[in-house]
């Protein structure tokens, strides 16, 4: 019965995408695996091994042929190491990315504050007041965020963010400033590395593997921003939205501590070895 629960319904020629407890029970009875069994007993048996076929997760298998070495470089930087040598006090690590198309939604009824035994109420209907992009760079070891809002993303807006950071101390006179970025079009490939290095000789662009945004610490900040500022979304103008984002950025930089990043090279190797057990469709 546990083996049945670990099969995809389609492999058993069943016309649905995931099992329910009752469907498993009915299947094993129909196939004469058992004469009868109660739902409670079946649930207890599946629960012993944490088998829950009615749940699922979406994810992307790593397909970058250089996934491990690229990821390892990023993890080393979080641990203040580069090419096997410790970083100096004059080295800094920046994690950067863009949060695109942030809408300003003006609710057609004002939001109500919370009250005893009554949560805050947010009107479902809204008017779209436009959208902006937020470009941010997190100093990983100092927990300081630099950011700007723009009408769109791209090479030019990202270049403005880089200039905003690199034209101020301590980055301007730093020995090296490592910028960890994903493979978005604003900063993709060797061309971006060369372009930024020509403008800022002490800047080293470091790309995460393809489909590995979870390795970029700026995404943690973006998730905090989403929860604390953008949910629920109630802004009467793009100007108000931008002011609030930048004010939160300033508050975060004053109060936050560096993220306690614990995922290491050893964890990476273990994770990749587990993934090797899953076949990837051609």
The mean of the pLDDT values for the chain is 94
Listed residue (141, 142, 134, 218) closest to 181, CA to CA: 218
End-to-end, the C-alpha distance of the chain in Å comes to: 30
The model's pLDDT over 213-252, given as tens digits with 9 standing for 90+, comes to: 899 999 999 999 999 999 999 999 999 999 999 999 999 9
The model's pLDDT over 7-35, given as tens digits with 9 standing for 90+, comes to: 999 999 999 999 999 999 999 999 999 99
Question: How far is Cα 238 from Cα 151, in angstroms, rounded to an integer?
Answer: 10
Give me the residue spans of the domains in the chain: 2-48, 67-266
CATH fold, domain 67-266, is Nucleotidyltransferase; domain 5 (3.30.420)
Say if residues 140 and 55 touch (Cβ distance below 8 Å). no
The model's pLDDT over 89-102, given as tens digits with 9 standing for 90+, comes to: 999 999 999 999 99
The model's pLDDT over 113-167, given as tens digits with 9 standing for 90+, comes to: 999 999 999 999 999 999 999 999 999 999 999 999 999 999 999 999 999 999 9
pTM of the entire predicted model: 0.86
């Amino acid at each position: 019965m546990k083996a049945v629960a670990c099969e995809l319904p389609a492999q058993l020629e069943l016309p649905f995408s995931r099992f329910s407890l009752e469907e498993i029970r009915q299947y094993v009875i129909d196939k004469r695996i058992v004469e009868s069994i109660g739902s409670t007993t079946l649930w207890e048996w599946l629960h012993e091994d944490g088998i829950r076929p009615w749940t699922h997760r979406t994810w992307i298998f790593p397909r970058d042929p250089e996934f491990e070495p690229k990821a390892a470089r990023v993890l080393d930087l979080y641990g203040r190491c580069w090419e096997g040598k410790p970083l100096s006090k004059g080295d800094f690590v920046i994690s950067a990315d863009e949060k695109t198309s942030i809408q300003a939604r003006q609710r057609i009824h004002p939001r109500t504050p919370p009250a005893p035994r009554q949560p805050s109420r947010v009107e479902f209907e809204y008017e779209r007041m436009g959208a902006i992009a937020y470009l941010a760079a997190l100093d990983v070891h100092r927990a300081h965020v630099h950011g700007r809002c723009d009408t769109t993303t791209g090479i030019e807006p990202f270049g403005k963010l880089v200039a905003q950071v690199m034209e101020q101390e301590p980055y301007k006179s730093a020995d090296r400033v490592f910028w960890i970025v994903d493979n978005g079009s604003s900063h993709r490939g060797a061309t971006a590395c060369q372009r930024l290095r020509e403008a800022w000789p002490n800047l080293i662009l470091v790309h995460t593997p393809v489909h590995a945004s979870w390795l970029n610490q700026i995404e943690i900040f973006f998730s905090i921003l989403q929860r604390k500022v953008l949910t629920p979304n109630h802004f009467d103008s793009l100007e108000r939205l931008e002011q609030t984002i930048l004010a939160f950025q300033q508050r975060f930089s004053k109060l936050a501590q560096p993220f306690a990043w614990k995922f290491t090279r050893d964890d990476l190797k273990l994770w990749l070895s587990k993934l090797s057990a899953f076949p990837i469709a051609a």
